[in-house]
Amino acid sequence: MDEAKKSRLIPEFLFQEGLGLIVPVWLLLSTFHGEEVMRQHLDSPPGQTYAGIHLMGDKKSTSIVTADYSSVFCTSTSWWACQQLAWHQWLLNSLAESKGARSAEQHQAIRQMQIHSDQQAHTKVEYYLTGPGADEPPVNLFVVDRGTGSVRITGVVDREQYPFFNLTGIAKYTNGTLAETGISLYVTILDINDNAPRFEPQSGEVFEGSRGGTFVMQIEGKDDDQPGTINSTISYSIISQEPEGLSHMFRIDEQTGKLYVKEPALDRERVELYRLVVQGADMAGAAGGLKGSGTVEIRVLDINDNVPTLEQCEYSASVDENVHNVVVSRIKARDRDLEHTDNWRAVFVIARGNEDNLFAIETDENTNEGVLKLIKPLDFEKVQNLELTLLIRNVAPFTKGEVVMTDVGVRVREGEPLAPTSGPGGGGPVKGGVDVESARHHPRPTAGGGGCPEGYVIRITVNNVVEDPAFIPAVREITVSEDPKDQPKDGIIMVFTAVDPDTGKAAHVRYAKAFDPGNWFTVDKHTAEIKLNKKPDRESALVVNGRYVAKIVAISNERPSATATGTIIIRVADANDHCPTLTSTHSSLCADRKTVYITALDEDASPNAAPFTFTVIPEGSQGSWHVEVINETTAALHSQKNLWPGIYKLQVMLADAQGRSCPAHEEYTLHVCTCTSWEMCHADRRATSSLKLSAAAIGLLLLPAGLLLLVPLLLLFCQCGGANTIFP
């Protein structure tokens, strides 16, 4: 055998978790044509058999071999020198037999190992261990006898806490110098099945009515033993169900832990929550494995599989006449589905009897009651009884037999894809407990369920109520002429009585005026006769658009009194009692112009007003004038001659459409003046200035006259003087 293929010697530890055992092993690794060969040399009598694990690359095999000292090859004369050719790895391996399978002698034989350096043959050598498990935590788990090199373990090792140790063996002279190069001792703790499976609290949910095989949830147990080994391979089973019910409702895949519906009989209205005790057995459920259990809660979700109903097929109610926006009745809906959800919440519909939209119904979401309201007043004298037909359904669509939620989407769990549809129109079954075709053949219910297939009937009685007196109609209108000749001789223009709505006859009341701003009339307190108090005037400020508005009140004789108000509208018919007049009786005109415009007004209304007729009276007018009609109310007066500055007086006769004119003619004053370049007439200003100058002139004239009167007085005073007077 050449040097490239010579054996490499590896000191190896065999150690089983939880036993605290060490055995010295030399593992000879040799490769011939790619074939892996393992030979073991045990420090024990030749021919003794042990189990070991051969680790090489990715391969792992268990072999039973017989080893003796002759199987060890090493060309070096030093044991420690042979280790320099090694991989410097010590392997702690699990023994095939369990702790209880070994005899006391075998147990003692493998408790320790002695390491040795050839330098000890020449001088004293001391042995040391360093690294975790020796001089690092956990300290002194592995100890070595400094004189003999015997290595032993002092305690039990838990693989879940320490899966491996990496130690270093050191040989030193007594002066502390190294006798040999340190060697790495890699210790791997191989697993034993010392941990039972365990479960965290888990919960899931599934719709009621789901078919068998519907996936519910993934249940997962945990095992702290080495992953990927038989020690941590869990087999699942269900050991109890609460409540038990008629049968086991769920099944579990023992290998994967997936939970499925077993029986298609889930009904939330019967059982809303199931508690399952699930067991996990490691070693894939084989005998001798450890077991653990946990609780899983499965909540059954609601579907709308219950038809809403009412307690009765027929109801009765009553309501007073002349009221509205009042509650007539509250009708309780019953539904076994989950409360305060769309599967439980009712929708009420008035199917018949509400053609006049007298009623409305809505749902009280807290109590699930239908609240029937009267929204328009009823009149007992017209209707005494009404009959309504109600239908009821849920907000959510009704589901029959399977989980169907076509309006809100389909819920599919993990691992449950939709199945392919069948037939040309699709609609085949869907895995995961959903059947879309079922929804097409089971529409929402709209009637009263099995007991009331035609719906629910509500019979309503209208109560007669003693009503207050009323004016019917509430507003009366009458036309009265301004002309006294056209008015009633007795002055009574109308009788406006209040009636009793229950009988339709005159009510026993007394009457009074409530509003009469012009005091136009009086009202008889017993007969309600309306009598004119004064002549109506259409041109009054109280008349708007020819209408005068007043009110009377009827007061009942009961205590407390009831009242009613009636409105009277007097439409005043116009009489031709006004003559047309000019809107302005004077104006100014430049001397170079010949035309002046005049406008007339008549307080009467058509046909007693415009169009007006304009006529200039020659005898009372200065100058010669021609009249041109511009429109119904305006005319142009054209002078036939040139006008000189000065004042012109004109007499104009005006007549309305009926030919009526004022007894006296209208006098119109025209100031003709010389205008400036801006065509402004200054006649008025000159007239005013002339007046001012005349007053001044008069003052100046009176001043000399006053002086003349003063002279005789002075002379008279002087004559009365004595000798000493001025004039002797």
pLDDT band at 306 (very low <50, low <70, confident <90, very high): very high
pLDDT band at 41 (very low <50, low <70, confident <90, very high): very low
pLDDT at 108: 37
Residues 569 and 588 in one domain: no
With respect to residue 469, please indicate whether it lies within any of the assigned structural domains.
no
Given a cut of 70, is residue 153 above it in pLDDT? Answer: yes
With respect to residue 369, please indicate whether it lies within any of the assigned structural domains.
yes
Q: Which of 35-49, 226-240, 697-711 has the lowest mean pLDDT?
A: 35-49
- The phi, psi pair for 437, rounded to 5°, reads -60, -30
∠ CA(141), CA(91), CA(102), 5° rounding?
75
The pLDDT tens digits of the residues spanning 517-548 come to: 999 999 999 999 999 988 888 888 899 988 99
Residues 486 and 566 in one domain: yes
Residues 553 and 606 in one domain: no
Q: Which residue carries 């006296």 as its tokens?
A: 664
- In terms of phi and psi (left: phi > 0; alpha: psi -120 to 50; beta: otherwise), the region of 327 is beta
With respect to residue 728, please indicate whether it lies within any of the assigned structural domains.
no
pLDDT at 375: 95
With respect to residue 724, please indicate whether it lies within any of the assigned structural domains.
no
- In terms of phi and psi (left: phi > 0; alpha: psi -120 to 50; beta: otherwise), the region of 83 is alpha
Q: Which residue carries 């849920």 as its tokens?
A: 394
How many domains is the chain partitioned into structurally?
5
With respect to residue 92, please indicate whether it lies within any of the assigned structural domains.
no
State how beta strands 314-320 and 456-463 pair: parallel
Residues 562 and 592 in one domain: no
Residues 208 and 296 in one domain: yes
Residues 276 and 186 in one domain: no
Contact 201, 294 (CB under 8 A): yes
The pLDDT tens digits of the residues spanning 654-670 come to: 888 888 888 888 899 99
Contact 208, 300 (CB under 8 A): yes
Given a cut of 60, is residue 285 above it in pLDDT? Answer: yes
Omega before 618 cis (within 30°)? no
What is the span of the domain harbouring residue 381? 309-394
* DSSP output for 519-531: --EEE-TTT-EEE
Euclidean distance between CA atoms 82 and 94, whole angstroms: 26
Contact 302, 337 (CB under 8 A): yes
Residues 609 and 656 in one domain: yes
Helix H or strand E segment including 374: strand 369-374
Backbone CA torsion sign across 377, 378, 380, 384: negative
Q: Which of 527, 546, 573 is the last residue in one of the domains?
A: 573
Q: Which of 549, 573, 597 is the last residue in one of the domains?
A: 573
Euclidean distance between CA atoms 508 and 215, whole angstroms: 82
Amino acid at 618: P
Token digits for 79?
């044991």
Token digits for 503?
């009988």
Residues 315 and 368 in one domain: yes
Omega before 560 cis (within 30°)? yes
pLDDT at 517: 94
State how beta strands 646-655 and 613-617 pair: antiparallel
Token digits for 666?
């209208």
* Residues β-bridged to residue 390: 350, 456
Q: Which of 190, 222, 242 is the last residue in one of the domains?
A: 190
Number of residues written out for the chain: 728
Contact 312, 456 (CB under 8 A): yes
pLDDT band at 449 (very low <50, low <70, confident <90, very high): low
Residues 481 and 563 in one domain: yes
Residues 316 and 293 in one domain: no
∠ CA(701), CA(707), CA(713), 5° rounding?
145
Q: Average pLDDT in the 76-81 region?
A: 37
Q: Average pLDDT in the 590-606 region?
A: 87
The pLDDT tens digits of the residues spanning 107-149 come to: 333 345 667 788 888 889 999 999 999 999 999 999 999 988 8
With respect to residue 38, please indicate whether it lies within any of the assigned structural domains.
no
Q: What CATH number corresponds to the domain at position 566?
A: 2.60.40.60
Q: Average pLDDT in the 381-398 region?
A: 93
With respect to residue 247, please indicate whether it lies within any of the assigned structural domains.
yes
With respect to residue 426, please indicate whether it lies within any of the assigned structural domains.
no
What is the edge-to-edge ordering of all strands in the sheet holding 613-617?
Answer: 586-590, 666-673, 646-655, 613-617
The pTM for the full model equals 0.52
The pLDDT tens digits of the residues spanning 321-341 come to: 989 999 999 999 999 999 999
Token digits for 91?
């392997």
Residues 295 and 383 in one domain: no
Residues 249 and 165 in one domain: no
Contacts (Cβ under 8 Å, ≥6 apart) of 722? none
pLDDT at 681: 65
Backbone CA torsion sign across 585, 589, 594, 595: negative
C-beta neighbour count of 332 within 10 angstroms: 13
Contact 92, 187 (CB under 8 A): yes
